[in-house]
Chains A and B, each alone.
Chain A
Amino acid sequence: MENSMSDQGLKPVDTKQISEMLGRKKGKMKRYLSFCAHCSLCAESCFLYMKYHKDPQYMPSYKAINSLGKLYRRRGKVDRKLLTEMKGIVWRNCVLCGRCYCPIGIHIPSMIAFARSILRSQGVYPQLDEVSLESWL
């Protein structure tokens, strides 16, 4: 397993594929991201935010902005280090329960799910035995 982990770490990121994926849902996702008022009113609707002593990094908007938002802002030109940082946000900090509530009507789970798809396309996803190898799970 260690070999596959290190292989995953060395594999170059296919930025062209990421850009292509981002382009496919650009109309929807860019509108979600650009019309988010950054009001933070979605915070209390996340049970993880409430569970982890209202830590802002568990806020639904924070998770969407710092995963998919970053991917769009950089137009997919990201390195593996950044994708690995996002891994914790979209897999550990969000369970995709779909209960987050945005007063404007932005569908946050679809943004996190899309970010997960992009990360998965680059081989960035949690491994079954990762609990013991990394501290993030």
Chain B
Amino acid sequence: MNIFIQGQLIWIVFLIFILGLAFQLTQFFKLTRKKEWAYPPLEIKSQKKTAGQWVASCLASLNGTLWKTDPLMTVVTSAFHVLLIAVPLFLLGHNILLNQSWGLSLWSLPESFTDTLTLIVILCTAFFLMRRLLLARVRAISTFYDYLVLLIAVAPFLTGYFAYHQWFDYDTVMTLHVLTGEIMLLTVPFTKLGHMLYFFLYRFLIGSEYSYARGARAW
């Protein structure tokens, strides 16, 4: 069973993950074939600013954004999402396995550093959980599914952290680490975690400074 989980299943999961994302990608562009008129980008010729004015204008541009309304959540969610992708990609252990398997790998971050980053991901998830439990506005729209998605996202990091520190039975923890990672990859294209892809795709619909390709696509 362990050999299957850490062997063939990984390939099946990667295949489903890539095909699932490709399906969502093609569906999106198929559904948004229609084009609508979009505002041309504004060309603002501004006067040369002093350093102080530049800082002031940067701070003013944050008004009305999430940085202003919820700075803590903005920092936590930004750190969480960047690390969720970056830590597994630049982890030494993963790159060694990749090198053994394919003879190529990405560059790796120091192990003690990725260990701290993993802990940050876990703490960010704890923050999300507390937010979901304690804030009335988040609780109002939370279902069992939301807690499950949170668990799916953090489980590979939690088991990876346990495995690195060799807590509990190493073999069992490693099997769980691979299994939870596979579950996460499997669920990305078909569940709420699909916002990983749609966060970028929706920018093709938004006609403003946050848009991609003029944001002229329409459903």
Q: Please list the residues of chain A having a beta carbon within 8 angstroms of any beta carbon in chain B.
A: 25, 27-28, 31, 34-41, 43-44, 54, 56-57, 59, 61-62, 65, 103-107
Judging by beta carbons under 8 Å apart, are B66 and A37 in contact?
no
CA distance A61 to B192 in the complex (A): 14
Contact partner, B140, options A36, A62, A105, Cβ 8 Å: A62
Minimum CB distance partner of B149 in chain A: A37
Q: Which B1-52 residues have a C-beta within 8 angstroms of A?
A: 27-28, 31
Contact partner, B31, options A28, A40, A104, Cβ 8 Å: A28
Q: Please list the residues of chain B having a beta carbon within 8 angstroms of any beta carbon in chain A.
A: 27-28, 31, 66, 69-70, 73, 77, 135-143, 146, 191-192, 194-195, 198-199, 202-203, 205-206, 210, 219
Q: A38-B146, A44-B70 are in contact. Are A105 and B199 (CB under 8 A)?
A: yes
Judging by beta carbons under 8 Å apart, are A54 and B137 in contact?
yes
Judging by beta carbons under 8 Å apart, are B219 and A28 in contact?
yes
Judging by beta carbons under 8 Å apart, are B140 and A59 in contact?
yes
CB of A82, distance to nearest CB on chain B (Å): 18
Q: A38-B146, A105-B205 are in contact. Are A43 and B198 (CB under 8 A)?
A: no
CA distance A65 to B55 in the complex (A): 39
CB of A94, distance to nearest CB on chain B (Å): 15
Given A38-B192, A56-B136, A61-B141, 14 more contacts at CB 8 Å? A34-B192, A34-B194, A35-B194, A39-B138, A40-B141, A41-B70, A56-B137, A56-B141, A57-B140, A65-B141, A104-B199, A104-B202, A105-B210, A106-B202
Which 7 A-B pairs rank lowest in CB-CB distance, beginning with the nearest? A105-B202, A56-B140, A28-B219, A44-B69, A56-B137, A35-B195, A40-B138
Which residues of chain A have C-beta atoms less than 8 A from B70's C-beta? 41, 44
